[in-house]
Amino acid sequence: MESLQIPYKDTGYFSKIMLDYLEEKESIKPFYNRFPSIENFEAQIEEKSQSYSNATRKTLVNALENQYQKIDISKETQQNIENLVLSTTFTITTGHQLNLFSGPLYFLYKIVSVINLCKQLKQTYPKHNFVPIYWMASEDHDFEEIQYFNFNATKVSWKREASGAVGRLNTQGLDEVYEQFSALLNSSDYANELRDLFKKAYLEHSNLTEASRYLVNALFGKYGLVVVDGDDKDLKYLFKPYALQELEEQTSFKNVTKTNVELENSDYNIQVNPREINLFYIGDGFRERIVKENSVYKVLNTDLHFSSAEELFKNSDKLEFVSGNALLRPLYQEVILPNLCYIGGGGELAYWMQLKSTFASFNVPFPVLLLRNSALLVSEKQQQKATKLGLDLQDFFLSQNDLIKKKVNELSTVNFDFESKRNQLVKTFKELEDLTNQTDKSFIGAVKAQQVKQLKGLDILEKRLLKAEKKKMYELVTRIEILQNDLFPNHSLEERQRNFSDYYQEYGSKIIDLLLKKLNPIPLKFTVVKL
């Protein structure tokens, strides 16, 4: 069971901003604090130590003990929670939406990344404790994004009406989802484990937060993972000074707006555009934006209004109704956790990079940002098929057209080098252009037009020849297409298309042990895991 590591830039699936980050290019350095190397964590530990108080630690531990009251807890997780009260304990965090039955496969890769990084840090800094954290996005209100998962090429959906924070949703209707999922599973012992896991998580808990906590704890509790629900009134009370500053000064809007301009000037895409106030108000069945009109704060689509920021909190000792959007949720997380590093996907880290100056304005340390592990899981049968086709696994990261073109050209008996002809043609027209410059410059346009026409003609001829050769090799081409479509469903990374249950049904919990063994968060490379 070997693994193959591929530079992210060679996969074709990662954005410019992430590739520049991984290469530590100068253009991206203004948007992050410290690069994720093991040695850089020493300074990160020192910086976080100076800003995180013992009082906050006690509040965090008390909140976690309350959150874990209703489920059995492993001794490893219990010990990690207790260690959080110590000034020598720090966290490594990832977060994810409350997708039904965990959603895409990369959910596992995120958590594996935090667990493995904690192990690496403990080896380097043995006097400190490092706790892996999974942050539940229980306050999110985009139900459409989380109401399904894919299993065995079938979309398993939770069909119901929903509004407000998803973590507060009751689990009504999930018995029907269980029946649908159960019918798709085979009769193996591992399949029965999945049935039992879904049933205990979603049919024996009253809301989506409790169900998700149970699921994640069942899968990763023995590795000491701590699940945090940010929709907690005691934890939100710690956020009050920052919420007040946001309401009164629109801090994140001012900073992110400026940063966005700087990102665009550096030719990077913007992930999230800020609102003037980046806070929501959560009530029963709703999560609505807080806006300021003249001098009055209002909650959109409700009758709620307040004459000042302080009045928002006047009748409540706690802040269970306050919720940050995508731009303030990271700040909230870093305020309440002794966190050193956030691990996320490329899109997540891109919007974190919009926030460095915002963190500085709130006087909160900006964490190390680490791209989560990405992987392709390849069965022995798939490996054998690739070998018979005379292809390396890395070849399958090419676009389907380029992959087939490569193989067809390799086997074709027609030897005609179109690329060299293109180069010759470009050289010839360059000579003609130089000659025209010396005689009559008015013909330069005609020369360039003719060059475009001739190159286009070569492209057409090459495509026709390739089409003819592909027709001759129809069986081979079909086998390549089938295998690549299996490895990359919907021409995408499988980690975005499949659910962990596709592999759990065959391998059981051994698939998680294998991922923990094979996925190394540092160095930063894509991993092909051979099963």
Considering only CA atoms, which of 322, 325, 321 is closest in space to residue 276? 325
400 vs 377: CA distance, rounded Å = 19
Provide the pLDDT confidence category of residue 289 given band limits of 50, 70 and 90: very high
Q: What is the mean pLDDT of residues 160-169?
A: 93
Same domain membership, residue 418 and residue 345:
no
The 10s digit of each residue's pLDDT in 380-398 is 999 999 999 999 999 999 9
Q: What is the mean pLDDT of residues 219-245?
A: 95
14 vs 151: CA distance, rounded Å = 25
Among 459, 475, 492, the domain-final residue is 492
CB atoms within 10 A of CB 207: 17
- The conformation of residue 92, written as its DSSP 8-state character, comes to E
Q: What is the mean pLDDT of residues 161-174?
A: 94
The count of residues in the chain is 531
Among 300, 324, 348, the domain-final residue is 324
**Tokens of residue 96, six digits:** 């994810």
Same domain membership, residue 93 and residue 213:
yes
What is the model's pLDDT at position 511? 97
User: How far lies 89's CA from each of 102, 129, 451, 476, 522, in Å?
Assistant: 28, 4, 66, 56, 21
Q: What is the mean pLDDT of residues 37-55?
A: 97
What is the model's pLDDT at position 66? 96
Q: What is the mean pLDDT of residues 185-190?
A: 96
Domain membership of residue 298 as a residue range:
253-260+270-324
Stretch among 18-22, 407-411, 466-470 having the lowest mean pLDDT: 466-470
Same domain membership, residue 181 and residue 48:
yes
The 10s digit of each residue's pLDDT in 236-264 is 999 999 999 999 999 999 999 999 999 99
14 is a domain residue: yes
- The conformation of residue 492, written as its DSSP 8-state character, comes to S
Query: Where would I find the beta strands (DSSP E) of 14-146?
Result: 89-96, 129-136
Considering only CA atoms, which of 136, 159, 99 is closest in space to residue 500? 99
**Mean pLDDT across the chain:** 92
Considering only CA atoms, which of 397, 490, 529, 444 is closest in space to residue 4? 529
**Tokens of residue 23, six digits:** 């290469």
Same domain membership, residue 59 and residue 180:
yes
Same domain membership, residue 365 and residue 308:
no
pTM for the whole structure = 0.89
Same domain membership, residue 356 and residue 224:
yes
Same domain membership, residue 30 and residue 137:
yes
What is the model's pLDDT at position 26? 96
526 is a domain residue: no
507 is a domain residue: no
Same domain membership, residue 332 and residue 319:
no
Domain count of the chain?
Answer: 3
518 is a domain residue: no
Contact in structure between 375 and 519 (CB atoms under 8 Å): yes
Cis peptide before 523 (omega within 30 of 0): yes
Same domain membership, residue 200 and residue 346:
yes
Same domain membership, residue 300 and residue 359:
no
Same domain membership, residue 461 and residue 405:
yes
Q: What percent of the chain has pLDDT over 90?
A: 81
524 is a domain residue: no
* Residue 228 buriedness (CB in 10 A; 0-12 / 13-18 / 19+): buried
Stretch among 36-40, 360-364, 372-376, 451-455 having the lowest mean pLDDT: 451-455
Considering only CA atoms, which of 134, 150, 139 is closest in space to residue 100? 150
247 is a domain residue: no
Provide the pLDDT confidence category of residue 465 given band limits of 50, 70 and 90: low
What is the model's pLDDT at position 3? 84
Contact in structure between 338 and 57 (CB atoms under 8 Å): yes
Among 339, 374, 409, the domain-final residue is 374
Same domain membership, residue 397 and residue 292:
no
531 is a domain residue: no
190 is a domain residue: yes
